[in-house]
């Protein structure tokens, strides 16, 4: 891992492409650096001085050039690579390339970016960009960007894959008291990417929270591994855009990147312990509250208000969230009754009535925060003649500090509310107008508690027959097809997934003898690489008694030929029949995502997946805890768990099957798609009834380094 601290703590900064022309990037950079603590050295071959500073022709001409800590490049694209080479040659390792005209423009630009990468490699540069708006580090006043706005000092560090996003939020954030430590515009991420900065800031004592605007994640597996560690200590909040098809199209047109599936991002970010924000306000709300307030130790909170209506709205919002309205302890009720007027109801939400003054507010909140059953509080106040918001803000700040429980406020109003928000800022207490936002902020303190409490468990390595699995896949591949089906059910057997007794029959009599050996009714399925959806052409018959097996064999073959006279029919699979009564059909599926690798899916079969889209996803490898979460987070979970008097199904069997499938696809990355549909689950166990599989035959023999065999 590279040490990137030099980017943020330079003493001497060179601006290559410094300029004094109105509206130029070079001039804006110099202006933004005017309050920087260190030295700023302009470089431009066409100028002798820039804005009163001596200007050098090239970086090598600067006296003691090797002691320059940071070089910012804002020269035309055509000369940018040469300039970066000179910088490397001068012995400078931290570089920000603002210049655009690289891979985002395609063609020539892509080649230029490759050259830039080569130079960076040659000189071992920590290179940000190209095609970015620069970086900021507030403690030293380093604002090496060309956009307007001066963010206040704080403990939030922020990366963005969109420079415009940074430009959009700087002024707004300052207005709303959001303070930053470092800000990085990632640009094309030719060298340094989002993961590098997440890693960097996890070791930065001055960064309490990491925020990120991301349009894509280059290496999903590396992201999960890194962020999973970082989020134990430092919360990461991500706003991930291009979530939708139209959004992804829009993003592709301005960055040229291909987005992975939203399901993969959702799963990957969750597994990494990343908190996800769904709009811009949320990112900064979460950042502020995580930076300013302690975690919520459990989910029970109190609401203290001087107005009924806002109290009710807040209670609704709490009910919509994972938080709950705490029940006050008995003693606490009596204490509150002492300080409240007779007509006040001692209940949570606590309405201390419209004529409450500062003392009533202070005393009530003190009692409430002292209650063991209260983990945190929301304080609401509407403007009245009986108190001043500013005094209340100080009282709340003081009480929050003494009780060390998180508090957020809705001191609701116009300018007086803004002033109170300023008063609350040094206490790290965010103030909102809308109670919905206050609840959502407090809730994130509970969500992050979960992340910190989550123990990382390695995926289980089951005892499997990897060699036999490889042989089955290779054999299948020899048949020159990409799509495999029920004929490779044995593959599941090698990874310990229960399958019905089964064999491939190539004649009617063979079918009959297989059925006799199985003993009892069988299911029969046509096997043909040319027929993907067997049921649709009548290629499946179930509950076939032994005496009907011969006839059914012929019927199935005829249907296949009727459907497609040229279809290669390999035979008919004769399977032990698993009675669907008293059992539930589920699906375990896998897809290979371009960013995250294998994504494992679980859901109930048929319409539950197709119409209700009631599915759960995790990026492989999937641990036991994660597999269990998958069975719990689908809406239909009660159907497996034994709702309304049903016998609970073998959920443990499902959990194990998910893990074993995860192990299979991790061992054989060439598997690009896999579906066990259905995986029938009964109280007695699970049975994989049918299988579809797509392999990338090119990479089939290749396997991962991770050996799980024997």
Residues of this chain, 6-45, that bind a second copy according to CB under 8 A: 23, 28
Based on the number of CB atoms within 10 Å of its own CB, is 613 exposed (0-12), middle (13-18) or buried (19 or more)?
A: exposed
Looking at the Cβ atoms of 608 and 668, the one nearer to a second copy is: 608
Looking at the Cβ atoms of 137 and 241, the one nearer to a second copy is: 241
Beta strands in 563-670 (DSSP E): 571-576, 584-593, 597-604, 615-619
* Per-residue contact string for residues 381-400; x = within reach of a second copy by CB under 8 A: -xxxxx--------------
Pick the piece of the chain touching a second copy (CB under 8 A) from 11-19, 396-404, 413-421, 464-472.
413-421
Under 8 Å between Cβ of 358 and 392? yes
Task: Identify the residue among 565, 611, 698, 705 touching a second copy (CB under 8 A).
Answer: 611
Task: Identify the residue among 46, 64, 66, 644 touching a second copy (CB under 8 A).
Answer: 644
The tokens describing 7, both together, are 């980017």
Task: Identify the residue among 203, 206, 229, 416 touching a second copy (CB under 8 A).
Answer: 416
Residues 477-506 that bind a second copy (CB under 8 A): none
CB of 253 to a second copy, least distance (A): 5
CB of 134 to a second copy, least distance (A): 13
Residues 334-363 that bind a second copy (CB under 8 A): 343, 345, 347, 349, 351, 354
Under 8 Å between Cβ of 492 and 678? no
* Per-residue contact string for residues 94-133; x = within reach of a second copy by CB under 8 A: -----------x----------------------------
CB of 5 to a second copy, least distance (A): 27
* Per-residue contact string for residues 624-643; x = within reach of a second copy by CB under 8 A: -----------xx-xx---x
| 102 CB-side CA count, 13 A | 24
Is residue 201 a contact point for a second copy (CB under 8 A)? no
Q: Tell me the number of residues near a second copy by CB under 8 A.
A: 93
Looking at the Cβ atoms of 226 and 241, the one nearer to a second copy is: 241
Looking at the Cβ atoms of 299 and 656, the one nearer to a second copy is: 299
Is residue 586 a contact point for a second copy (CB under 8 A)? no
For 453, phi then psi, to 5°, come to -90, -15
* Per-residue contact string for residues 310-329; x = within reach of a second copy by CB under 8 A: xxxx-xxxxxx----x----
d(CA 459, CA 660): 10
Tell me the three state secondary structure of residue 232: coil
Task: Identify the residue among 6, 308, 498, 538 touching a second copy (CB under 8 A).
Answer: 308
Residues 232-261 that bind a second copy (CB under 8 A): 239, 241-247, 249-251, 253-255
Residues 536-555 that bind a second copy (CB under 8 A): 536
CB of 350 to a second copy, least distance (A): 10
Looking at the Cβ atoms of 170 and 464, the one nearer to a second copy is: 170
Under 8 Å between Cβ of 507 and 529? no
Residues 645-704 that bind a second copy (CB under 8 A): 645
Looking at the Cβ atoms of 385 and 453, the one nearer to a second copy is: 385
Which residues are CB-neighbours of 606 under 8 A, at least 6 positions away?
A: 585
d(CA 197, CA 182): 10
The DSSP letter of residue 464 is -
Looking at the Cβ atoms of 383 and 496, the one nearer to a second copy is: 383
Is residue 462 a contact point for a second copy (CB under 8 A)? no
Under 8 Å between Cβ of 400 and 302? no
Looking at the Cβ atoms of 499 and 540, the one nearer to a second copy is: 540
CA distances (Å), 183 to each of 139, 187, 238, 403, 658, in order? Answer: 12, 12, 14, 33, 40
The tokens describing 706, both together, are 């991770």
Task: Identify the residue among 13, 16, 119, 170 touching a second copy (CB under 8 A).
Answer: 170
d(CA 259, CA 297): 37
Looking at the Cβ atoms of 210 and 514, the one nearer to a second copy is: 210
d(CA 272, CA 476): 36
Looking at the Cβ atoms of 320 and 684, the one nearer to a second copy is: 320
Is residue 161 a contact point for a second copy (CB under 8 A)? yes
Is residue 413 a contact point for a second copy (CB under 8 A)? yes
Beta pairing partners, 143? 136
Q: Alpha helices, DSSP H only, in 178-219? A: 194-202
For 45, phi then psi, to 5°, come to -65, -20
The DSSP letter of residue 140 is G
Return the axis-axis angle of helices 508-518 and 549-563, rounded to nearest 10°.
130
Beta strands in 364-438 (DSSP E): 376-381, 407-411
d(CA 136, CA 151): 9
């Amino acid at each position: 891992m590279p040490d990137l601290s030099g980017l943020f703590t330079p003493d001497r900064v060179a601006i290559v492409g410094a300029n004094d022309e109105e509206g130029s990037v070079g001039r804006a950079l110099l202006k933004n650096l005017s309050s920087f603590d260190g030295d700023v050295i302009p470089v431009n071959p066409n100028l002798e001085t820039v804005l009163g500073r001596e200007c050098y022709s090239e970086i090598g001409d600067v006296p003691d050039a090797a002691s320059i800590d940071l070089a910012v490049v804002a020269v035309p694209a055509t000369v940018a690579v040469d300039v970066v080479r000179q910088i490397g040659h001068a012995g400078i390792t931290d570089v920000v390339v603002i210049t655009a005209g690289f891979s985002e423009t395609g063609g020539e630009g892509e080649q230029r970016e490759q050259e830039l990468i080569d130079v960076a490699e040659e000189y071992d540069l920590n290179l940000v960009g190209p095609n970015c708006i620069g970086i900021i580090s507030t403690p030293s006043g380093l604002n090496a960007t060309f956009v307007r706005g001066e963010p206040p000092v704080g403990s939030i560090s922020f990366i963005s894959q969109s420079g415009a996003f940074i430009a959009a939020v700087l002024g707004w954030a300052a207005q709303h008291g959001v303070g930053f430590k470092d800000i990085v515009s990632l640009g094309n991420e030719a060298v340094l990417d989002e993961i590098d900065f997440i890693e960097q800031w996890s070791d930065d004592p001055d960064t309490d929270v990491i925020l990120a605007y991301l349009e894509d994640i280059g290496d999903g597996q590396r992201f999960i591994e890194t962020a999973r560690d970082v989020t134990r200590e430092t919360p990461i909040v991500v706003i991930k855009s291009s979530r939708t098809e139209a959004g992804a199209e829009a993003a592709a047109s301005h960055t040229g990147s291909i987005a992975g599936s939203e399901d993969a991002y959702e799963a990957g970010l969750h597994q990494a312990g990343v908190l996800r924000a769904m709009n811009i306000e949320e990112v900064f709300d979460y950042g502020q509250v995580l930076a300013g307030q302690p975690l919520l130790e459990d989910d029970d909170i109190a609401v203290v208000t001087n107005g009924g209506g806002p109290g009710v709205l807040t209670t609704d919002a709490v009910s919509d969230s994972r938080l709950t309205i705490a029940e006050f302890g008995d003693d606490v009720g009596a204490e509150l009754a002492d300080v409240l007027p007779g007509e006040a109801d001692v209940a949570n939400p606590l309405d201390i009535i419209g004529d409450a003054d500062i003392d009533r507010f202070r005393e009530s909140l003190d009692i409430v925060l002292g209650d063991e059953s209260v983990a945190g509080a929301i304080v609401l106040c509407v403007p009245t003649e009986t108190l001043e918001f500013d005094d209340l803000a100080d009282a709340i700040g003081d009480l929050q500090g003494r009780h060390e429980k998180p508090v957020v406020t809705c001191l609701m109003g116009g300018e007086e509310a803004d002033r109170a928000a300023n008063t609350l800022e040094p206490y790290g207490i965010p103030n909102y107008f809308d109670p919905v936002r206050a609840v959502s902020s407090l809730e994130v303190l509970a969500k992050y508690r979960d992340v910190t409490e989550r123990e990382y468990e390695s995926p289980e390595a089951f005892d499997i027959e990897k060699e036999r699995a490889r042989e089955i896949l290779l054999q299948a591949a020899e048949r020159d097809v990409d799509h495999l089906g029920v004929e490779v059910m044995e593959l599941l057997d090698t990874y310990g997934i229960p399958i019905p007794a089964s064999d491939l029959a190539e004649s009617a009599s063979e079918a009959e003898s297989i059925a006799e050996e199985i003993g009892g009714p069988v299911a029969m399925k046509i096997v043909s690489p040319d027929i993907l959806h067997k049921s649709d052409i009548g290629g499946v018959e179930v509950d076939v008694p032994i005496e009907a097996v011969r006839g059914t064999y012929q019927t199935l073959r005829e249907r296949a030929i009727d459907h497609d006279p040229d279809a290669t029919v390999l035979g008919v699979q004769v399977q032990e029949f698993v009675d669907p009564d008293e059992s539930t059909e589920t699906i375990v599926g896998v897809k290979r995502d371009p960013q995250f690798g294998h994504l494992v899916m679980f859901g109930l079969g048929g319409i539950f997946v197709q119409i209700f889209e009631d599915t759960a996803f995790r990026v492989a490898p999937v641990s036991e805890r994660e597999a269990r979460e998958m069975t719990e987070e689908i809406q239909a979970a009660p159907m497996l768990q034994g709702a309304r008097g049903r016998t609970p199904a073998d959920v443990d069997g499902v959990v194990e099957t998910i893990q074993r499938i995860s192990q299979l696809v991790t061992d054989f990355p060439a598997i690009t798609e896999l579906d066990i549909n259905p995986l029938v689950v009964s109280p007695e166990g699970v049975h994989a009834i049918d299988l579809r599989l797509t392999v990338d035959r090119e990479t089939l023999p290749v396997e991962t380094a991770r050996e799980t065999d024997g």
